[in-house]
Amino acid sequence: MFYDGGVARVSRKQIGGMMGAEGTGIFQHDLSAEVRDTFFEYFDKGMDLNQIKQQIGDEFGYESLDGVEKEVYCGAMIHCLWEIGAPNTEFIDQLIGLENQSELEQYWGDDLPRRRAAVTRLLKKVGTPKGKPKKAKGAQPDIKLLFSPGDCVLYQRTNGRYVPLVFWDVERLSGLEYLFAVPNLSRVEDPDVIKRFLSHPDQLTKEEFAQLLSSKQRFKTIAVKNKVMKSFRERFIRFARIDFPPSDWRNSTIGNLAETLECFEQLLNGSGSRSLSQLEIEQMKSDGSLSVGAQTIPVICASKGTS
């Protein structure tokens, strides 16, 4: 997935390494989701199909992927090509040739039967042409986003307490969604790290920022539907901006989607983080980094075709 608005998005091709096994479904992986997103980004722009396949293969470094990653990549391409009514035999042949490799058993472990069942369902599905293949959307008008990547945001919960978030990017596979990383204040032992995160987050070291998110260079996100953001935008207050994520970090969560405000708050509860104390809020006000209730959220213009 790539960001067109001058902000580099951390993509699978940039970070290398094994993707996380988030689920056994065809698109339940960061790699396969990014392949699909990139495929339709180029398809909607009217790019030639052969050029799309070549471009995506080069960008994701197909030849350098290991066997498990190639299997996931081919599954995604097979489905994408089926969606637009295009031939996908070359990728089906590659996928079938990859199914008996020992790497799959090592990677999937007890989930291997479920993964193989998902591949079997995919091959059966694409055996019948899609009734109404997708058409390229063509050029799309600009839309206005509430935030740009790296914005540090306070969300005011329905109980009046505040929770910090970091805006990562937007997703457009099924309508516009805002993706937020959730710093876990509860896991930070040094109160000075939290204080500096709330006042000058750009001054935190990489190691200090890892205390807020993860020591494994992976961060969890919650996706929030645009309708929720538009309806409750006054609850989201930007207080700073940072370069996010670090170049060797990546998202580790697929499926945490909030379609209602109630669902968003439930997902926040499950994140393990705590709300800010009144003392921390007052400190932010005195530092000048926050003016609760008086800040106007800036509007960032970005192309609708980006993700």
pLDDT single digits (tens) 21-80: 468 899 888 889 889 989 998 998 888 999 999 999 999 999 999 999 999 999 999 999
Under the banding of pLDDT at 50, 70 and 90, the label for residue 93 is very high
Per-residue pLDDT at 185 exceeds 50: yes
Residue 2 has pLDDT above 60, yes or no: no
Q: How confident is the model at residue 174 (pLDDT cuts 50, 70, 90)?
A: low
Average pLDDT over residues 185-196: 90
Percentage of the chain exceeding pLDDT 70: 83
Give the separation between CA 81 and CA 43, rounded to whole angstroms.
10
Predicted confidence at residue 169, as pLDDT, reads: 87
More confident residue, 15 or 51: 51
Using an 8 Å Cβ cutoff, are 240 and 167 in contact?
no
pLDDT of residue 5: 29
Q: Which residue has the higher pLDDT, 139 or 98?
A: 98
Integer Cα distance of 43 and 85 in angstroms: 12
- What percent of the chain has pLDDT above 90? 48
Q: 47-85 b/e with 16+ CB inside 10 Å = b?
A: eeeeebbeebeebbebeebeebbbbbbbbbbbbbbbbbe
Please state, in angstroms and rounded to a whole number, the distance separating the CA atoms of residues 224 and 54. 33
Question: What is each CA distance from 305 to 11, 31, 200, 233, 251, in whole angstroms?
Answer: 17, 20, 33, 22, 21
3-state secondary structure of 92: helix
Q: Please say if the pLDDT value at position 237 is more than 70.
A: yes
* Residue 193: band (very low, low, confident or very high) from pLDDT cuts 50, 70, 90: very high
Is the pLDDT at 83 greater than 50? The verdict is: yes
> For residue 224, what are the β-bridge partners?
178, 258
